[in-house]
Structure 1
Amino acid sequence: MKILFVHQNFPGQYRQLIDWLIAQGGHEMVALTQSKTPPNIPGIKIFGYRPHHRPKDDAYALSKYWEECCGSGFGVVRACKRLEEQGFVPDLVLGHVGWGELTFMKQIWPSVPVLGFFEYFYLAQGGSVGFDPEFPASEHTPFIMHARNAVNFANIETVDLGHAPTQWQLNTFPESFHSKIYCCHDGIRADLLKPNHAAKVPLGRLGRDVTREDEIFTYMARNMEPTRGFHVFMRALPDILAARPKARALIIGGSETSYGKKSDADGGYRAEMEREVGDRLDWDRVHFLGRVPYADFQKIIQISRCHIYLTVPFVLSWSLLESMAMEATIVASDTAPVREVVTHGETGLLADFFDPKALANQVAEVLASPADYAGLGPAARRHVLENYDFLSHTLPIHLEKMNSLVPKAAQIPMPV
């Protein structure tokens, strides 16, 4: 099959699928991305493209996002025309609809099927905006959020089929979208993500490795920000460390902002929270590791006695399911996206997002009595294997949907 991937942060949600297709061989694949440093993946040709237009900083707020997305979409148009001049016309286009990159795809190739990734419908209520009263929405927010959905409305007409990774994310979209979108996660490589009782992580401050014998608890987010409950974690941290004098916190993530309003402080939300709780913390036992290589992330989770995952109602992080696959004992926020994958007392533990003390108490209990919670990690892994494993569960679904859009001669053989 000749496949075109379109994703501004390629490979994004397609990383597992691309690796599998390359391993199978026989497919001609091309990717378009805005990344300034696209990955080098042997077996797929990756081309950067530039948005044709970007809105000015003072552009009208209600149409600014649409203007930006149209600029990206037309940048893709120009890139696709260059591909066509070089002799490449895909059998199928796969891409993320959220940034407008697919918007004009049918104006380029009307007969080429498009399968779009529908990640989130912007909600003024029931989603990330306005969930936490500490970060109230403005009176204009409902209008700005709905205006951003112009991209979703345009692209539901562009695609031949869409998919959403979780039922909660699918349910953010209006009912009128549902008949055209199937629900299936990107997939977790549970065959590669396993517990490892021999894992070690070097901590320079200690001058030695830490292992599962150490009292380690962990928190991870792409960036330390309110959408991922970083402020809640930091407010719980003093009580956790006070209750467990030998415990150490390993914290993974950057200091930028991926979602929502940026912090006004130098150093971002991390700096804000360090000032707020600073005099209550034993900083010698708090380790900010920044962003780490994927292999290091795995080892950190594998030695963790308790992994904390927090989020407002928003897109579910891969890291939660990856941690579950590695049999981590999870303490997570009792929020709708999390409840879809974590059942309290069965595959993990849930705590009130707005109650740092309750979070701290739950984490301290797990650290104090790991044997009492030893069944949660294996149950979490079984849940991932049954519902989110890439090879055995999600890949066959995605291949079936892809094949349904193309002639039989171009279809991908199903795995045996």
Structure 2
Amino acid sequence: MRVLIIHQNFPGQFRHVAKAWSEQPGWQVVGIGRDTAPGLPELEKSGRLTLIRYKPHRSVHPEQHHYLRRMEDAVLHGQAVARVLLKLKHRGFTPDVILAHPGWGETLNAEDVFPNARLVHFCEWFYNAPPEGVNGLDPNWQWADIGFDPEFPVTFDDRARIRAWNALHLLNLENCDAAISPTHWQKAQHPKAYLDKITVAHEGIDTENLGPDPTAAIKTPNGTVLKAGDPVITYVARNLEPYRGFHQFMRALPAIQREHKTAHTVIVGGDDVSYGRKPEGAKHWREKMLREVGSQLDPTRTHFLGKVPYEGYKRVLQVSAIHAYLTYPFVLSWSMLEAMATGCLVVGSDTAPVREVLKDGLNGQLVRPFDLRALADACLQGLASREGAASALRSKAAATAKENYSIAAGLRAFEAACFGTTSIKEIRRVA
């Protein structure tokens, strides 16, 4: 079996499948990623996986219409990867399956080079904007990210821009033979005409190495040592920004600190922007929110850790008494599932992707988006009842994550989508 895995940030969501498939006897796994991709150094050094890096030959033209900048960038990525594919073909490598995240345009020409390969796309997102005049939390609109936050109303320019952005996603849906979405809700964002192509298959998290540790401790930048069992509220995001509810969390924090005099808050995340826009009048959202509410916070109990190594991040979750996961209706984060697998009591936003996993009162708590009082109350109640009901929620959260979102479950689902089977044994037989 010959498998080609393409992701600009290789391995991205394909870390577990790349490792598992490269270890199968007789299989040849080749990866393609940008020159900035982290790769899988151990597998590359062992020779079990070959990673080819590429770089577009130029940047997007500075005068390109802003609706089309993303499409031009996709064409440039697709062109660069096509050159790599043609070289592979010339060397005699013809894949049976191509698994790719197509969001950067890398597979636009994959079928032109390898028309007989099964092309499987990771369909993470499709943009949807509300109709003109609909903003805020209108209950009659099935909300996605665009226009969800009343603080950032949708403009006509936004609607026109994302319509052009979706052209790439439509091309990707048309080109692929099969597709994968991590959650049912993310699948449902795509056009009905293509839903039959899409299988729901979460890539899985490392549940085997996640769990509570009563001896866990972290040291904050001001020297405070926090231990498992302490009243610690945690918040984690790749970057601190409104898409992941950072502004809501910061606005609820003064009330939490006023009403719980010993609670500490640990905030993990960078100052870049992963989604949405930069703030006006500030370098980043951390600076903007500290300007707004910083004077109401106790700096000795508010700890910003920035980006931390994975082992440090695990300890943060193990120390957590309450973990806040607040998100627009958007791509579901690994961090929420990892917090559940660790046994955190998760207070999550009552949005569609969160509700798919977190059931209010069963394995966590849901709070209405933008209801700061409800968010503060949920955190305070969780701190006050760390035994009994809260303990049951933690146990059920860990069970949910381990039963449904393990690496093994992800591998089975990806193998079914990519090879039409759920068994490596069956794949060998087909091969």
TM-score normalised over the length of structure 2 = 0.91
Residue pair 1:91, 1:410 contacting (<8 A) in 2 also: no
Which residue in 2 is equivalent to 1:46?
51
Q: What are the ranges of 5 or more consecutive residues in structure 2 without an aligned counterpart?
A: 131-142
Pairwise CA distance, 1:23: 4.1
Pairwise CA distance, 1:280: 0.3
Which digits, 9 at most, give the CA deviation of each residue in 1:107-158, with x for residues without a partner? 1111111111000101113211111010112212112111111111111121
- Percent identical pairs in the alignment equals 37
Pairwise CA distance, 1:160: 1.0
Pairwise CA distance, 1:24: 4.0
Q: What is the SS of the residue equivalent to 2:67?
A: helix
Pairwise CA distance, 1:273: 0.2
Tell me the amino acid that sits aligned with residue 15 of structure 2: R
Tell me the amino acid that sits aligned with residue 14 of structure 1: F
Pairwise CA distance, 1:89: 2.3
Which residue in 2 is equivalent to 1:334?
350
Query: Taking structure 1 as reference, are residues 25 and 276 closer, same or farther at Cα in structure 2, changes over 3 Å only?
Result: farther
Q: What is the SS of the residue equivalent to 2:193?
A: helix
Pairwise CA distance, 1:19: 2.4
Tell me the amino acid that sits aligned with residue 18 of structure 1: A
Residue pair 1:53, 1:68 contacting (<8 A) in 2 also: no
Q: How does 1:127-206 map to 2 (within 5 A)?
A: 127-206=144-223
Q: How does 1:16-415 map to 2 (within 5 A)?
A: 16-36=16-36, 38-39=38-39, 40-42=41-43, 43-125=48-130, 126-206=143-223, 209-371=225-387, 372-391=389-408, 393-404=409-420, 411-412=427-428
Q: What are the ranges of 5 or more consecutive residues in structure 1 without an aligned counterpart?
A: none
> Counterparts of 1:115 and 1:231 in 2: how far apart (Å)?
37
Q: Name which of structure 1's ranges 159-168 and 261-270 shifts more when overlaid on structure 2.
A: 261-270
Tell me the amino acid that sits aligned with residue 281 of structure 1: L
Q: What is the SS of the residue equivalent to 1:227?
A: helix
Q: What is the SS of the residue equivalent to 2:269?
A: strand
> Counterparts of 1:281 and 1:69 in 2: how far apart (Å)?
44
Pairwise CA distance, 1:25: 4.6
Tell me the amino acid that sits aligned with residue 7 of structure 2: H
Tell me the amino acid that sits aligned with residue 336 of structure 1: A
Residue pair 1:217, 1:308 contacting (<8 A) in 2 also: yes
Pairwise CA distance, 1:202: 2.4
Tell me the amino acid that sits aligned with residue 3 of structure 1: V
Tell me the amino acid that sits aligned with residue 364 of structure 1: L
Q: What is the SS of the residue equivalent to 2:154?
A: coil
Pairwise CA distance, 1:276: 0.2
Query: Taking structure 1 as reference, are residues 412 and 230 closer, same or farther at Cα in structure 2, changes over 3 Å only?
Result: farther
Q: What is the SS of the residue equivalent to 1:350?
A: strand
Residue pair 2:235, 2:323 contacting (<8 A) in 1 also: yes
Pairwise CA distance, 1:412: 4.5
Q: Name which of structure 1's ranges 123-132 and 227-236 shifts more when overlaid on structure 2.
A: 123-132
Residue pair 1:51, 1:74 contacting (<8 A) in 2 also: yes
Pairwise CA distance, 1:355: 1.3
Residue pair 1:218, 1:250 contacting (<8 A) in 2 also: yes
Query: Taking structure 1 as reference, are residues 6 and 230 closer, same or farther at Cα in structure 2, changes over 3 Å only?
Result: same
Which residue in 1 is equivalent to 2:138?
none
Tell me the amino acid that sits aligned with residue 260 of structure 2: R
Tell me the amino acid that sits aligned with residue 50 of structure 1: K
Count of paired positions = 410
Q: Name which of structure 1's ranges 132-141 and 44-53 shifts more when overlaid on structure 2.
A: 44-53
Tell me the amino acid that sits aligned with residue 153 of structure 1: L
Residue pair 1:403, 1:412 contacting (<8 A) in 2 also: no
TM-score normalised over the length of structure 1 = 0.94
